[in-house]
Chains A and B, each alone.
Chain A
Amino acid sequence: MQKKMLEVIDLHTNYGSIEALKGINLEVYEDEIVTLIGSNGAGKSTTLSSITGIVPSASGQILFEGTDITKMKASDITKLGIGVSPEGREVFGGLSVQENLKIGAYTRKDKKEIAESFEMVYDLFPRLAERKKQSAGTLSGGEQQMLAIGRALMSKPKLLLLDEPSMGLAPNLVDLIFELIVRINKAGTTILLIEQNANMALQIADRGYVLETGKVTLSDDAKVLQANDDVRKAYLGSAE
Protein backbone atom coordinates (compact mmCIF):
# COMPACT_ATOMS: atom_id res chain seq x y z
CA MET A 1 0.00 0.00 0.00
CA GLN A 2 1.23 3.48 -0.85
CA LYS A 3 1.79 6.12 1.80
CA LYS A 4 -1.10 8.40 2.59
CA MET A 5 -0.12 11.94 1.62
CA LEU A 6 -3.24 14.03 2.20
CA GLU A 7 -6.21 13.25 4.35
CA VAL A 8 -9.25 15.48 4.69
CA ILE A 9 -11.61 14.49 7.49
CA ASP A 10 -15.16 15.78 7.86
CA LEU A 11 -14.22 19.24 6.61
CA HIS A 12 -16.72 22.07 6.98
CA THR A 13 -16.09 25.51 5.48
CA ASN A 14 -18.44 28.48 5.50
CA TYR A 15 -18.55 31.86 3.81
CA GLY A 16 -20.51 33.84 6.35
CA SER A 17 -23.82 32.04 6.50
CA ILE A 18 -23.21 30.04 3.32
CA GLU A 19 -22.16 26.47 4.08
CA ALA A 20 -19.86 25.69 1.16
CA LEU A 21 -18.44 22.42 2.52
CA LYS A 22 -20.64 20.16 4.64
CA GLY A 23 -18.30 17.41 5.74
CA ILE A 24 -15.78 16.48 3.05
CA ASN A 25 -13.72 13.31 3.38
CA LEU A 26 -10.98 12.50 0.95
CA GLU A 27 -7.56 10.93 0.71
CA VAL A 28 -4.66 11.23 -1.65
CA TYR A 29 -1.88 8.63 -1.69
CA GLU A 30 1.67 9.20 -2.77
CA ASP A 31 2.21 9.23 -6.57
CA GLU A 32 -1.50 9.24 -7.37
CA ILE A 33 -3.50 11.51 -9.59
CA VAL A 34 -6.78 12.06 -7.81
CA THR A 35 -9.52 14.10 -9.39
CA LEU A 36 -12.30 16.07 -7.78
CA ILE A 37 -15.22 16.54 -10.17
CA GLY A 38 -18.56 18.21 -9.77
CA SER A 39 -20.66 20.96 -11.24
CA ASN A 40 -20.19 24.66 -10.75
CA GLY A 41 -20.64 25.68 -7.11
CA ALA A 42 -20.22 22.16 -5.72
CA GLY A 43 -17.37 23.27 -3.46
CA LYS A 44 -14.30 22.07 -5.39
CA SER A 45 -12.39 25.33 -5.21
CA THR A 46 -13.38 25.82 -1.59
CA THR A 47 -11.93 22.41 -0.76
CA LEU A 48 -8.70 23.49 -2.37
CA SER A 49 -8.66 26.88 -0.62
CA SER A 50 -9.24 25.16 2.70
CA ILE A 51 -6.33 22.80 2.12
CA THR A 52 -3.98 25.64 1.20
CA GLY A 53 -5.06 27.73 4.20
CA ILE A 54 -6.46 30.60 2.14
CA VAL A 55 -9.98 30.12 3.50
CA PRO A 56 -10.32 29.10 7.16
CA SER A 57 -12.33 25.95 7.78
CA ALA A 58 -15.05 25.81 10.42
CA SER A 59 -14.43 22.26 11.60
CA GLY A 60 -12.82 19.03 10.57
CA GLN A 61 -9.20 18.16 9.97
CA ILE A 62 -6.65 18.31 7.18
CA LEU A 63 -3.56 16.14 7.50
CA PHE A 64 -0.57 16.39 5.20
CA GLU A 65 1.95 13.56 5.61
CA GLY A 66 0.51 13.08 9.09
CA THR A 67 0.93 16.75 10.09
CA ASP A 68 -2.22 18.62 11.06
CA ILE A 69 -2.29 21.66 8.75
CA THR A 70 -5.90 22.65 9.43
CA LYS A 71 -5.04 25.91 11.20
CA MET A 72 -1.67 26.58 9.58
CA LYS A 73 -0.77 29.78 7.76
CA ALA A 74 -0.80 29.55 3.96
CA SER A 75 2.92 30.36 3.75
CA ASP A 76 3.78 27.49 6.12
CA ILE A 77 1.62 25.08 4.15
CA THR A 78 3.49 26.01 0.97
CA LYS A 79 6.77 25.33 2.79
CA LEU A 80 5.58 21.86 3.80
CA GLY A 81 5.23 20.95 0.13
CA ILE A 82 1.80 21.83 -1.24
CA GLY A 83 1.83 23.81 -4.48
CA VAL A 84 -1.23 25.26 -6.14
CA SER A 85 -2.30 26.44 -9.55
CA PRO A 86 -5.47 28.33 -8.66
CA GLU A 87 -8.74 28.65 -10.53
CA GLY A 88 -8.52 31.40 -13.13
CA ARG A 89 -4.70 31.09 -13.13
CA GLU A 90 -4.13 34.26 -11.12
CA VAL A 91 -0.71 34.93 -12.60
CA PHE A 92 0.86 38.30 -11.77
CA GLY A 93 0.10 40.07 -15.03
CA GLY A 94 2.37 43.05 -14.50
CA LEU A 95 5.38 40.91 -13.66
CA SER A 96 7.54 39.04 -16.12
CA VAL A 97 7.30 35.28 -16.66
CA GLN A 98 10.59 34.87 -14.87
CA GLU A 99 9.44 36.97 -11.91
CA ASN A 100 6.24 34.94 -11.66
CA LEU A 101 8.30 31.78 -11.44
CA LYS A 102 10.62 33.37 -8.90
CA ILE A 103 7.63 34.06 -6.70
CA GLY A 104 6.69 30.41 -6.98
CA ALA A 105 10.00 29.65 -5.28
CA TYR A 106 9.47 32.36 -2.67
CA THR A 107 9.54 30.00 0.31
CA ARG A 108 12.77 28.29 -0.79
CA LYS A 109 16.30 29.33 0.09
CA ASP A 110 18.78 27.10 -1.77
CA LYS A 111 19.81 29.06 -4.88
CA LYS A 112 21.18 26.03 -6.68
CA GLU A 113 18.02 24.01 -6.20
CA ILE A 114 15.91 26.96 -7.34
CA ALA A 115 18.04 27.20 -10.49
CA GLU A 116 17.37 23.50 -11.08
CA SER A 117 13.64 24.07 -10.75
CA PHE A 118 13.84 26.91 -13.27
CA GLU A 119 15.50 24.54 -15.70
CA MET A 120 12.95 21.83 -15.04
CA VAL A 121 10.02 24.22 -15.62
CA TYR A 122 11.53 25.72 -18.78
CA ASP A 123 12.19 22.20 -19.98
CA LEU A 124 8.59 21.22 -19.38
CA PHE A 125 7.21 24.44 -20.89
CA PRO A 126 9.58 25.63 -23.63
CA ARG A 127 7.10 28.38 -24.48
CA LEU A 128 7.72 29.96 -21.10
CA ALA A 129 11.46 29.86 -21.69
CA GLU A 130 10.96 31.81 -24.91
CA ARG A 131 8.95 34.43 -23.06
CA LYS A 132 11.02 34.82 -19.90
CA LYS A 133 11.13 38.62 -19.98
CA GLN A 134 7.61 39.13 -21.29
CA SER A 135 5.04 40.35 -18.79
CA ALA A 136 2.61 37.59 -17.86
CA GLY A 137 -0.42 39.69 -18.72
CA THR A 138 0.51 39.58 -22.39
CA LEU A 139 0.58 35.75 -22.58
CA SER A 140 -2.21 33.76 -24.20
CA GLY A 141 -4.63 31.83 -22.01
CA GLY A 142 -2.79 28.55 -22.56
CA GLU A 143 0.56 30.11 -21.79
CA GLN A 144 -0.82 31.69 -18.64
CA GLN A 145 -2.06 28.27 -17.56
CA MET A 146 1.39 26.83 -18.17
CA LEU A 147 2.84 29.68 -16.14
CA ALA A 148 0.41 29.02 -13.29
CA ILE A 149 1.41 25.34 -13.22
CA GLY A 150 5.10 26.18 -13.61
CA ARG A 151 4.87 28.70 -10.80
CA ALA A 152 3.34 26.03 -8.56
CA LEU A 153 6.13 23.61 -9.48
CA MET A 154 8.74 26.20 -8.47
CA SER A 155 7.90 25.55 -4.83
CA LYS A 156 9.05 21.94 -5.45
CA PRO A 157 5.78 20.58 -4.15
CA LYS A 158 5.21 16.99 -3.08
CA LEU A 159 1.52 17.55 -3.72
CA LEU A 160 0.35 19.70 -6.62
CA LEU A 161 -3.19 21.08 -6.53
CA LEU A 162 -4.62 22.07 -9.90
CA ASP A 163 -7.91 23.96 -10.07
CA GLU A 164 -9.53 23.66 -13.50
CA PRO A 165 -6.38 23.86 -15.61
CA SER A 166 -8.40 23.28 -18.79
CA MET A 167 -10.84 26.14 -18.23
CA GLY A 168 -11.24 28.39 -21.25
CA LEU A 169 -8.64 26.63 -23.38
CA ALA A 170 -8.98 25.40 -26.97
CA PRO A 171 -9.28 21.58 -27.26
CA ASN A 172 -5.73 21.03 -28.58
CA LEU A 173 -4.35 23.05 -25.69
CA VAL A 174 -6.45 21.07 -23.23
CA ASP A 175 -4.86 17.89 -24.56
CA LEU A 176 -1.41 19.40 -24.17
CA ILE A 177 -2.05 20.50 -20.60
CA PHE A 178 -3.35 17.06 -19.64
CA GLU A 179 -0.32 15.42 -21.22
CA LEU A 180 1.93 17.68 -19.20
CA ILE A 181 0.04 16.88 -16.00
CA VAL A 182 0.71 13.20 -16.58
CA ARG A 183 4.36 13.95 -17.19
CA ILE A 184 4.64 15.95 -13.98
CA ASN A 185 3.05 13.08 -12.12
CA LYS A 186 5.38 10.49 -13.68
CA ALA A 187 8.31 12.63 -12.57
CA GLY A 188 7.23 12.07 -8.98
CA THR A 189 4.66 14.70 -8.00
CA THR A 190 1.37 13.64 -6.50
CA ILE A 191 -1.59 15.47 -8.00
CA LEU A 192 -5.03 16.53 -6.86
CA LEU A 193 -6.84 17.70 -9.97
CA ILE A 194 -10.04 19.70 -9.88
CA GLU A 195 -11.97 19.64 -13.13
CA GLN A 196 -15.30 20.36 -14.68
CA ASN A 197 -14.00 18.52 -17.72
CA ALA A 198 -14.74 15.23 -15.97
CA ASN A 199 -14.16 13.13 -19.04
CA MET A 200 -10.56 14.19 -19.49
CA ALA A 201 -9.85 14.19 -15.77
CA LEU A 202 -11.10 10.64 -15.27
CA GLN A 203 -9.00 9.45 -18.21
CA ILE A 204 -5.73 10.44 -16.54
CA ALA A 205 -6.68 9.99 -12.87
CA ASP A 206 -6.21 6.93 -10.68
CA ARG A 207 -9.18 7.72 -8.48
CA GLY A 208 -11.93 10.29 -8.38
CA TYR A 209 -14.36 11.98 -6.01
CA VAL A 210 -17.68 13.41 -7.08
CA LEU A 211 -18.73 16.52 -5.19
CA GLU A 212 -22.30 17.82 -4.95
CA THR A 213 -23.34 20.87 -2.92
CA GLY A 214 -20.52 20.57 -0.43
CA LYS A 215 -20.58 16.79 0.00
CA VAL A 216 -18.77 13.83 -1.55
CA THR A 217 -21.47 11.72 -3.15
CA LEU A 218 -19.29 9.15 -4.88
CA SER A 219 -15.70 8.04 -4.78
CA ASP A 220 -14.04 5.23 -6.64
CA ASP A 221 -11.39 4.23 -9.12
CA ALA A 222 -11.44 6.53 -12.12
CA LYS A 223 -12.32 3.63 -14.45
CA VAL A 224 -15.31 2.69 -12.30
CA LEU A 225 -16.55 6.27 -12.21
CA GLN A 226 -16.21 6.55 -15.97
CA ALA A 227 -18.47 3.55 -16.32
CA ASN A 228 -20.97 4.72 -13.71
CA ASP A 229 -24.34 5.64 -15.27
CA ASP A 230 -25.11 8.51 -12.91
CA VAL A 231 -21.68 10.03 -13.48
CA ARG A 232 -22.02 9.62 -17.21
CA LYS A 233 -25.38 11.34 -17.25
CA ALA A 234 -24.43 14.16 -14.91
CA TYR A 235 -20.85 14.94 -15.85
CA LEU A 236 -19.79 13.21 -19.02
CA GLY A 237 -22.71 14.21 -21.23
CA SER A 238 -25.07 11.69 -22.81
CA ALA A 239 -23.10 11.59 -26.06
CA GLU A 240 -19.98 10.19 -24.38
Chain B
Amino acid sequence: MILEQVLNGVMLGMVYALIAVGYSLVFGILKLLNMAHGSIYAFGAHMALFIVSMHFGLLPAFLFAILTTGIISVLMDRIILAPLRAKNAPNITALISVMGVSYIIQNMMMIIFDSTKKTFPKLFDFGNVTFLGVTLTSTQIAMFLIALAFLVLLTVVVNYTKVGLAMRASRENAKAANMMGIDVRRIVTFTFFISGMCAAVAGVLVSGYYQMVYSTMGTEAGLKGFSAAVLGGIGVLHGSVVGGIIIGVAEALAVTYLGGSFRSATAYIVLFIVLLIRPSGLFGKDNIVKV
Protein backbone atom coordinates (compact mmCIF):
# COMPACT_ATOMS: atom_id res chain seq x y z
CA MET B 1 0.00 0.00 0.00
CA ILE B 2 2.69 2.42 1.00
CA LEU B 3 4.91 1.31 -1.88
CA GLU B 4 2.04 1.78 -4.26
CA GLN B 5 1.54 5.36 -3.14
CA VAL B 6 5.25 6.06 -3.29
CA LEU B 7 5.42 4.81 -6.86
CA ASN B 8 2.30 6.78 -7.80
CA GLY B 9 4.01 9.80 -6.31
CA VAL B 10 7.23 9.20 -8.21
CA MET B 11 5.31 8.94 -11.50
CA LEU B 12 3.56 12.26 -11.00
CA GLY B 13 6.62 13.76 -9.33
CA MET B 14 8.65 13.37 -12.49
CA VAL B 15 6.19 15.70 -14.20
CA TYR B 16 6.44 18.19 -11.34
CA ALA B 17 10.19 17.98 -11.87
CA LEU B 18 9.73 18.92 -15.50
CA ILE B 19 7.67 21.95 -14.47
CA ALA B 20 10.23 22.83 -11.80
CA VAL B 21 13.08 22.74 -14.30
CA GLY B 22 11.27 25.40 -16.33
CA TYR B 23 11.35 27.73 -13.31
CA SER B 24 14.97 26.86 -12.58
CA LEU B 25 16.22 27.52 -16.10
CA VAL B 26 14.75 31.01 -16.25
CA PHE B 27 15.67 31.81 -12.67
CA GLY B 28 19.23 30.65 -13.30
CA ILE B 29 19.83 33.13 -16.05
CA LEU B 30 17.61 36.10 -15.11
CA LYS B 31 17.10 35.67 -11.34
CA LEU B 32 13.41 35.96 -12.13
CA LEU B 33 10.58 33.84 -10.76
CA ASN B 34 8.55 33.24 -13.86
CA MET B 35 5.11 33.35 -12.27
CA ALA B 36 3.54 32.93 -15.72
CA HIS B 37 4.97 29.42 -15.96
CA GLY B 38 1.76 27.80 -14.70
CA SER B 39 -0.35 29.59 -17.27
CA ILE B 40 2.14 28.69 -19.95
CA TYR B 41 1.77 25.08 -18.90
CA ALA B 42 -2.02 25.36 -19.24
CA PHE B 43 -1.51 27.02 -22.61
CA GLY B 44 0.49 24.00 -23.75
CA ALA B 45 -2.29 21.64 -22.68
CA HIS B 46 -4.86 23.70 -24.58
CA MET B 47 -2.74 23.74 -27.72
CA ALA B 48 -2.57 19.95 -27.58
CA LEU B 49 -6.32 19.75 -26.96
CA PHE B 50 -6.90 21.93 -30.01
CA ILE B 51 -4.98 19.56 -32.29
CA VAL B 52 -6.52 16.49 -30.68
CA SER B 53 -10.00 17.90 -31.20
CA MET B 54 -9.20 18.25 -34.90
CA HIS B 55 -8.38 14.50 -34.92
CA PHE B 56 -4.74 14.91 -35.92
CA GLY B 57 -3.52 12.46 -33.30
CA LEU B 58 -1.29 12.68 -30.27
CA LEU B 59 2.16 13.08 -31.73
CA PRO B 60 1.22 16.12 -33.81
CA ALA B 61 -0.57 17.46 -30.74
CA PHE B 62 2.61 17.10 -28.68
CA LEU B 63 4.76 18.76 -31.31
CA PHE B 64 2.30 21.58 -31.90
CA ALA B 65 2.02 22.19 -28.15
CA ILE B 66 5.80 22.28 -27.72
CA LEU B 67 6.28 24.65 -30.60
CA THR B 68 3.51 27.12 -29.80
CA THR B 69 4.20 27.10 -26.08
CA GLY B 70 7.89 27.65 -26.68
CA ILE B 71 6.99 30.57 -28.89
CA ILE B 72 4.57 32.16 -26.41
CA SER B 73 7.24 31.86 -23.73
CA VAL B 74 9.77 33.57 -26.01
CA LEU B 75 7.27 36.26 -26.99
CA MET B 76 6.63 37.07 -23.35
CA ASP B 77 10.33 37.65 -22.91
CA ARG B 78 10.81 39.61 -26.10
CA ILE B 79 7.77 41.84 -25.81
CA ILE B 80 7.66 42.44 -22.08
CA LEU B 81 10.79 41.35 -20.22
CA ALA B 82 13.55 42.26 -22.69
CA PRO B 83 12.47 45.93 -22.87
CA LEU B 84 12.41 46.05 -19.06
CA ARG B 85 15.94 44.66 -18.90
CA ALA B 86 17.07 47.15 -21.53
CA LYS B 87 15.81 49.91 -19.23
CA ASN B 88 17.47 48.32 -16.19
CA ALA B 89 14.10 48.01 -14.48
CA PRO B 90 14.22 46.55 -10.97
CA ASN B 91 13.49 42.85 -10.64
CA ILE B 92 10.17 43.46 -8.90
CA THR B 93 8.90 45.18 -12.06
CA ALA B 94 9.63 42.05 -14.08
CA LEU B 95 7.97 39.92 -11.41
CA ILE B 96 4.77 41.98 -11.48
CA SER B 97 4.86 41.88 -15.27
CA VAL B 98 5.02 38.09 -15.49
CA MET B 99 2.15 37.85 -13.00
CA GLY B 100 0.19 40.11 -15.33
CA VAL B 101 1.12 37.98 -18.32
CA SER B 102 -0.04 34.93 -16.40
CA TYR B 103 -3.55 36.37 -16.05
CA ILE B 104 -3.62 37.58 -19.64
CA ILE B 105 -2.78 34.10 -20.95
CA GLN B 106 -5.34 32.53 -18.63
CA ASN B 107 -7.97 35.00 -19.73
CA MET B 108 -7.26 34.46 -23.41
CA MET B 109 -7.75 30.73 -22.90
CA MET B 110 -11.07 31.35 -21.14
CA ILE B 111 -12.21 33.52 -24.04
CA ILE B 112 -11.10 31.13 -26.78
CA PHE B 113 -11.73 27.75 -25.15
CA ASP B 114 -14.29 28.85 -22.48
CA SER B 115 -13.79 28.04 -18.83
CA THR B 116 -15.45 24.62 -18.61
CA LYS B 117 -13.48 21.47 -17.91
CA LYS B 118 -12.90 19.64 -21.17
CA THR B 119 -12.02 15.98 -21.58
CA PHE B 120 -8.60 15.06 -22.88
CA PRO B 121 -7.84 11.57 -24.21
CA LYS B 122 -6.03 9.16 -21.93
CA LEU B 123 -2.44 8.89 -23.10
CA PHE B 124 -0.85 5.55 -24.02
CA ASP B 125 -3.62 3.39 -22.56
CA PHE B 126 -2.32 -0.16 -22.98
CA GLY B 127 -3.57 -1.61 -19.71
CA ASN B 128 -1.73 -2.19 -16.45
CA VAL B 129 1.75 -3.24 -15.49
CA THR B 130 2.56 -4.99 -12.23
CA PHE B 131 5.88 -4.05 -10.75
CA LEU B 132 7.13 -5.13 -7.28
CA GLY B 133 3.62 -6.23 -6.54
CA VAL B 134 2.27 -2.78 -7.33
CA THR B 135 -0.02 -2.18 -10.27
CA LEU B 136 0.65 0.91 -12.34
CA THR B 137 -1.24 2.00 -15.43
CA SER B 138 0.56 2.27 -18.75
CA THR B 139 -0.53 5.92 -18.78
CA GLN B 140 1.37 6.55 -15.56
CA ILE B 141 4.45 4.76 -16.79
CA ALA B 142 4.43 6.57 -20.12
CA MET B 143 4.04 9.87 -18.31
CA PHE B 144 7.01 9.03 -16.10
CA LEU B 145 9.18 7.89 -19.00
CA ILE B 146 8.42 10.83 -21.24
CA ALA B 147 9.09 13.34 -18.47
CA LEU B 148 12.29 11.49 -17.64
CA ALA B 149 13.37 11.48 -21.28
CA PHE B 150 12.93 15.23 -21.51
CA LEU B 151 14.83 15.76 -18.27
CA VAL B 152 17.70 13.63 -19.56
CA LEU B 153 17.67 15.50 -22.85
CA LEU B 154 17.83 18.80 -20.99
CA THR B 155 20.66 17.65 -18.79
CA VAL B 156 22.63 16.60 -21.84
CA VAL B 157 21.97 19.90 -23.59
CA VAL B 158 22.94 21.99 -20.58
CA ASN B 159 26.04 20.01 -19.62
CA TYR B 160 27.46 18.67 -22.84
CA THR B 161 26.66 21.01 -25.72
CA LYS B 162 28.05 24.32 -26.87
CA VAL B 163 24.77 26.14 -26.34
CA GLY B 164 24.56 24.57 -22.88
CA LEU B 165 28.01 25.86 -22.05
CA ALA B 166 26.92 29.31 -23.21
CA MET B 167 23.85 29.01 -20.96
CA ARG B 168 25.96 28.14 -17.95
CA ALA B 169 28.41 30.94 -18.71
CA SER B 170 25.62 33.48 -19.20
CA ARG B 171 23.89 32.54 -15.98
CA GLU B 172 27.12 32.92 -14.09
CA ASN B 173 28.33 36.18 -15.57
CA ALA B 174 26.30 37.67 -18.41
CA LYS B 175 28.67 40.58 -18.93
CA ALA B 176 31.73 38.38 -19.29
CA ALA B 177 29.79 35.98 -21.53
CA ASN B 178 28.95 38.91 -23.76
CA MET B 179 32.60 39.93 -23.88
CA MET B 180 33.54 36.44 -25.01
CA GLY B 181 31.26 36.81 -28.00
CA ILE B 182 28.25 34.94 -26.62
CA ASP B 183 25.03 36.59 -27.73
CA VAL B 184 23.41 36.50 -24.30
CA ARG B 185 20.10 37.80 -25.65
CA ARG B 186 19.83 34.78 -27.89
CA ILE B 187 20.73 32.49 -25.02
CA VAL B 188 17.92 34.04 -22.96
CA THR B 189 15.52 33.47 -25.86
CA PHE B 190 16.63 29.87 -26.14
CA THR B 191 16.16 29.43 -22.39
CA PHE B 192 12.60 30.74 -22.52
CA PHE B 193 11.87 28.43 -25.43
CA ILE B 194 12.97 25.28 -23.64
CA SER B 195 11.32 26.42 -20.43
CA GLY B 196 8.08 26.75 -22.40
CA MET B 197 8.73 23.39 -24.00
CA CYS B 198 9.05 21.73 -20.58
CA ALA B 199 5.80 23.36 -19.48
CA ALA B 200 3.99 22.16 -22.59
CA VAL B 201 5.19 18.57 -22.25
CA ALA B 202 4.20 18.54 -18.57
CA GLY B 203 0.84 20.10 -19.43
CA VAL B 204 0.03 17.44 -22.01
CA LEU B 205 1.18 14.62 -19.74
CA VAL B 206 -0.89 15.76 -16.76
CA SER B 207 -3.91 16.37 -19.00
CA GLY B 208 -3.59 12.84 -20.32
CA TYR B 209 -3.30 11.50 -16.78
CA TYR B 210 -6.36 13.28 -15.36
CA GLN B 211 -8.06 13.33 -18.78
CA MET B 212 -9.00 16.90 -18.23
CA VAL B 213 -8.07 20.36 -19.49
CA TYR B 214 -9.28 23.70 -18.14
CA SER B 215 -8.09 27.28 -18.28
CA THR B 216 -7.05 27.62 -14.63
CA MET B 217 -5.29 24.26 -14.46
CA GLY B 218 -1.92 26.01 -14.37
CA THR B 219 -2.39 27.59 -10.96
CA GLU B 220 -1.96 24.44 -8.93
CA ALA B 221 0.56 22.75 -11.21
CA GLY B 222 2.56 25.97 -11.35
CA LEU B 223 2.70 26.22 -7.57
CA LYS B 224 3.74 22.61 -7.24
CA GLY B 225 6.49 22.97 -9.81
CA PHE B 226 7.58 26.18 -8.12
CA SER B 227 7.67 24.49 -4.72
CA ALA B 228 9.66 21.62 -6.20
CA ALA B 229 12.16 24.07 -7.69
CA VAL B 230 12.60 25.97 -4.43
CA LEU B 231 12.74 22.73 -2.47
CA GLY B 232 15.61 21.45 -4.60
CA GLY B 233 17.37 24.82 -4.65
CA ILE B 234 16.08 27.03 -7.44
CA GLY B 235 18.43 27.27 -10.39
CA VAL B 236 19.81 23.79 -9.78
CA LEU B 237 18.69 21.32 -12.41
CA HIS B 238 19.02 18.06 -10.49
CA GLY B 239 17.63 19.80 -7.40
CA SER B 240 14.42 20.42 -9.32
CA VAL B 241 14.19 16.74 -10.19
CA VAL B 242 14.61 15.64 -6.58
CA GLY B 243 12.22 18.36 -5.45
CA GLY B 244 9.59 17.22 -7.93
CA ILE B 245 9.76 13.64 -6.77
CA ILE B 246 9.58 14.60 -3.08
CA ILE B 247 6.51 16.74 -3.68
CA GLY B 248 4.90 14.02 -5.79
CA VAL B 249 5.46 11.34 -3.17
CA ALA B 250 4.44 13.55 -0.24
CA GLU B 251 1.26 14.46 -2.05
CA ALA B 252 0.38 10.84 -2.86
CA LEU B 253 0.95 9.79 0.74
CA ALA B 254 -1.03 12.71 2.11
CA VAL B 255 -3.97 11.99 -0.15
CA THR B 256 -4.03 8.35 0.92
CA TYR B 257 -3.52 8.76 4.63
CA LEU B 258 -4.94 12.18 5.34
CA GLY B 259 -7.52 12.58 2.61
CA GLY B 260 -7.89 14.27 -0.76
CA SER B 261 -8.33 17.71 0.73
CA PHE B 262 -4.69 17.66 1.84
CA ARG B 263 -3.41 17.41 -1.74
CA SER B 264 -2.51 21.06 -2.26
CA ALA B 265 -1.37 21.94 1.23
CA THR B 266 1.14 19.09 1.35
CA ALA B 267 3.53 20.62 -1.13
CA TYR B 268 3.81 23.67 1.08
CA ILE B 269 4.14 21.82 4.33
CA VAL B 270 7.03 19.81 2.88
CA LEU B 271 8.53 22.97 1.44
CA PHE B 272 8.39 24.82 4.78
CA ILE B 273 10.01 21.94 6.62
CA VAL B 274 12.86 21.67 4.14
CA LEU B 275 13.44 25.40 4.01
CA LEU B 276 13.57 25.63 7.78
CA ILE B 277 16.39 23.13 7.76
CA ARG B 278 18.08 24.25 4.55
CA PRO B 279 17.02 27.81 3.64
CA SER B 280 18.54 27.69 0.15
CA GLY B 281 16.91 24.36 -0.72
CA LEU B 282 18.33 20.86 -0.80
CA PHE B 283 20.99 21.53 -3.42
CA GLY B 284 20.94 25.31 -3.33
CA LYS B 285 23.88 27.68 -3.43
CA ASP B 286 27.54 27.02 -2.65
CA ASN B 287 26.85 23.30 -2.77
CA ILE B 288 27.31 21.08 -5.81
CA VAL B 289 27.57 22.40 -9.37
CA LYS B 290 24.59 24.41 -10.56
CA VAL B 291 22.63 24.24 -13.83
Contacts and interface: CB of A to CB of B under 8 A. Distances in A.
A107 B175 contact: no
Size bracket, chain B contacts:
10 to 19
Contact of A90 (B162, B176, B181): B176
Which of B168, B173, B181, B182 has the largest number of chain A CB atoms within 10 A? Answer: B181
B220 interface: no
Nearest to B177: A103
Contacts of A142: none
Contacts of A104: 180
A70 interface: no
B178 interface: yes
B169 A75 contact: no
B176 to A, nearest CB: 4
A84 B177 CA distance: 11
A90 B173 contact: yes
Contacts of A74: 178-179, 181
B179 A54 contact: yes
Contacts, number: 63
A94 interface: yes
Contacts of A107: 180-181
Given A93-B172, A94-B168, A79 B178 contact: no
B181 A92 contact: no
B110 interface: no
Given A94-B289, A94-B290, A106-B166, A54 B172 contact: no
B183 interface: yes
Classify chain A: how many residues form its interface, as a range.
Answer: 20 to 34
Given A90-B173, A94-B290, A84 B182 contact: no
Interface in A95-152: 95, 99, 102-104, 106-107, 135, 151
A103 B165 contact: yes
A106 B181 contact: yes
A95 B176 contact: no
A79 B181 contact: yes
A29 B178 CA distance: 26
A155 B172 contact: no
A102 B164 CA distance: 12
Interface string A52-90: 101000000000000000000111011100001010001
Q: Which of B162, B173, B179, B182 has the most CB of A within 10 A?
A: B179
B181 A78 contact: yes
Nearest to A80: B181
Contacts of B168: 92, 94-95, 99
Interface of B: 162, 165-166, 168-169, 172-173, 175-183, 289-290
Interface of A: 52, 54, 73-75, 77-79, 84, 86, 90-95, 99, 102-104, 106-107, 135, 151, 155
13 contacts: A54-B178, A73-B183, A74-B181, A78-B179, A78-B180, A78-B181, A92-B169, A94-B289, A99-B169, A103-B166, A104-B180, A106-B166, A107-B180
Given A106-B165, A107-B181, 7 more contacts: A75-B181, A75-B182, A90-B179, A93-B172, A94-B168, A103-B177, A151-B180
